[in-house]
Chain A
C-alpha cells in the first residue's frame, strides 16, 4: 500500500500522510512446539508522514500499548533488514509481574521508500507484535493450540468473558 501511496503522489503531486494497520495471518516454515505453530497472527501499525522521528515512534507505541494495559516500556537496539533504526519493545507486564519482549519496531530505510517515488522527507515508522503471545500471557494459556485452530474447545469460546482492559 506504500506503493499505491507513492503512485498517488506521483499522479497528483500531493502527498497525503497515512496511518495504516493490519491484523492478519502470517506463516513460517519452522518446527512447532507448545507455543509455536506454522501460522499465527501479527498486528502492525504504520505512520507515513513528513519528518517523523524515533520520538514519535516511541510516543505511538506507548499510546498503543497503554490501550492493552502495558504502561511501562523500554526500547532495545535491534536489527531488521528493512528498518534503521530498529527497536525491540519491552514492557513490564502487569499480569506476569516482570519485563518481557512485547514487540518490534523501526523506521523504514530510505532504500525502501525512494524507489517508490515518495518525497525524501517522508518517513515511515512502524511497529508490530504477535497476537497470540500477549493473549497467552494475559489469559495464562500454555498451549497455542488452545487458542487458535481446530483443537480449541468450543466451550471455552462460549464461556470466556468479554476482553476488557485493564
Chain B
C-alpha cells in the first residue's frame, strides 16, 4: 500500500473535544529541525519533505492538518476575487505555513519553539534543556493588595527574561503563544491572563490591586494617544467594531466596582487584567530586551503552568539561554502586613516514578532498564535511572511536561518512544467470557424482524426535533415532558422527542414519490426520552414502536392488523394511533 502520508487533509472522525492548532512557518521549522537538505522538488505540496514530516508527526503523536499561507487563508475568505482584491491578495505573504494539530494537554507544543525542540529531542538531536533560575543582585517585587480577592482575581505569578532579542518571527510567536494559552488552559482568560512588559521602561516594586473603575486611567495598547478610565474603556471595547476581539473578555470584570490593575512604583498602569495591557510598557520589536511577565489568575495551579510554559518556551532567546530571573510575590494583609509570599516562577524539575514491571506489562513487551531510560530521554523525561532494589524507574519531569500526572503518563511516553506500531499484530486477550445482547435489544431485534415480515420498511430517524414538531404539529399540548436543549446549535434540534411520530411523518414528507397502490408502510423501533424526576439524570429512555400507513385509503385495518398481531395491550397501542 502507498505510504501513510497520503492520508488526505480531512475532518477528523468525531473528536470529542477540540485539538489546538498551531501555525508554524515550514522553512523555519525545517531549519530548526536541522533539515537543510531539501531540494525545491522535495518541497512541493505532497512531496518528499511533507511525507517525511507527516511520518515524524504520526510517530510522535501530532498531526499536520493543513498546508497554507497568509495569502491562501485570505483567499479562502473571498469567494470571487476581482482584480483589485487579487492585487491585495498578492501583497500578502505566501510563505508556506504548516498548521499542526497538537494534543490538548501539551502546553509545551503550542509554539514553533516548543514543537521544534520536542521533535529534536525525540529524534535524539539534542537533550532536554535544563532550565535555570538565575538570581539577580536584587529580585523584582510584586505586592498584591487584598482588594484583588473581591474581583475575584486573587493570584499573580511573575518572572523576568533578560537579554531577549525580538525580531519579526519570534515576536509574532511570543504573541501567538499567549493567545493559544489564553484560548486553551486559561479558558478564554477567565482562569489566567498573561501580561508581558518592557522591564526597562517601568520601575519596581510593582503592585497588583483592584482600583475603582472610574478612577483607573491609562493609555491602553489599542489606542496610542488617548487615556481611558476603566469602565469607559470596557464600554468602548463592547461597542467599537475595531476592538471586537476584546469584547468576549469584558464581562469577566465589567460588573465589578473595582477593576484589577498592575502598576509600577511610579503608579504607571502596566495592564488591566484580563483585558488589555498599557501602551507604555508594551514589548517592541528591535527595542525590548528585558521582559517582565505577569499572569493574574483565579486558579493558581494553572497560573504556574502558564508562566512556566511562557518562560521555558522563550528563554531560548535570553542572553543566558534557558535561564529565568525570579520575582517575589508578596500577598499583603489589609493593614499592609505580609499574609504570604511566593517566589515565582516555580520552574521546578520534579521526579516521577513507574515500576519497570508495570511499564513492560502495560505495553506488552519486555524491555530492560537501560532501554527504558533511553526511551524516556527521547520524550524529555531524562535523565532517567533505575533502582534495582525496588524495581523503580525514576524520571526527571521538566517544567514543560505538566501533563505527566501519574505513572501511566510515563508508561505512555515510553510506549510512544518505543513505537506503538512495533506491537502489531498484537495478541487477542486470553479473557474468556460469554457474550450476548441486552435483553431489550434482543427483543427489539426480534420485533423488527416480525414487523418487517408484515411488509413494513424500517426507518431510523433523529432523536432531536423542533418543539412544535413534537407537540403542536401533532395537536398535542406541550406539557413540558420533553427534555430541552439549552443552547441548540441548530434550530431544527430544540428538544429530544417524546414520541416517534415526528420522525415518521417527516420521512413520509420526504418520500411522497413512493408507490401508493399498496400503501406506504414503514416503522421504527427506537428510544424516546421523557423527563423523570425519579431518574438520577432527570430523564429516562423508553423504547417505542411506531408504524405508519399512508395510501389511497386510510388503511386503518392494516394498522389494526399490526396491532392485533404484536400488541399485547391493545387499548394502549390504539390510544396512540392517529388518523391523518
A residues with CB within 8 A of B: 17-19, 21, 25-32, 35-40, 42, 47, 49, 51-63, 72-81, 84-87, 90, 92, 97-104, 107, 109-111, 123, 125, 129-130, 133, 148-155, 157-158
Query: How far, in whole Å, are A153 and B514 apart by their CA atoms in the complex?
Result: 9
Chain B CB within 10 Å, residue with most, of A57, A149, A154:
A154
Q: Which residue of B lies closest to A109 (CB)?
A: B408
Q: Does B37 interact with chain A (Cβ within 8 Å)?
A: no
Q: Which residue of B lies closest to A130 (CB)?
A: B14
Identify B423's interface contact among A25, A38, A58, A154, CB under 8 A.
Answer: A58
B 313-335 binary contact with A (CB < 8 Å = 1; else 0):
00000000000000000000000
B residues with CB within 8 A of A: 1-2, 4, 6-8, 10-14, 16-17, 19, 58-61, 63, 103-106, 361-365, 406, 408-409, 411-412, 415-416, 420-421, 423-429, 431-433, 435, 457-464, 485, 487-490, 493, 503, 506-507, 509-511, 514, 520, 522, 527
Do the beta carbons of A56 and B488 come within 8 Å of each other?
A: no
Do the beta carbons of B490 and A60 come within 8 Å of each other?
A: no
Known contacts: A79-B106, A100-B7, A150-B503. The answer to whether A54 contacts B423 by CB under 8 A is yes
Do the beta carbons of B462 and A110 come within 8 Å of each other?
A: no
A-side contacts of B10, CB under 8 Å: 100
Do the beta carbons of A53 and B462 come within 8 Å of each other?
A: no
Known contacts: A39-B464, A77-B60. The answer to whether A56 contacts B420 by CB under 8 A is no
Identify A154's interface contact among B16, B409, B511, CB under 8 A.
Answer: B511
Identify A150's interface contact among B13, B58, B415, B507, CB under 8 A.
Answer: B507
Identify A31's interface contact among B105, B415, B420, B490, CB under 8 A.
Answer: B490
Known contacts: A77-B60, A102-B13. The answer to whether A56 contacts B514 by CB under 8 A is no
Query: How far, in whole Å, are A25 and B463 apart by their CA atoms in the complex?
Result: 9
Known contacts: A35-B11, A79-B105. The answer to whether A154 contacts B459 by CB under 8 A is yes
Known contacts: A29-B485, A150-B462, A150-B503. The answer to whether A75 contacts B421 by CB under 8 A is yes
Q: Which residue of B lies closest to A77 (CB)?
A: B61
Query: How far, in whole Å, are A86 and B415 apart by their CA atoms in the complex?
Result: 10
Chain A CB within 10 Å, residue with most, of B59, B421, B431:
B431
Do the beta carbons of A55 and B514 come within 8 Å of each other?
A: no
Q: Which residue of B lies closest to A106 (CB)?
A: B412
Do the beta carbons of B461 and A150 come within 8 Å of each other?
A: yes
B-side contacts of A36, CB under 8 Å: 11
Known contacts: A59-B429, A150-B510. The answer to whether A107 contacts B424 by CB under 8 A is no
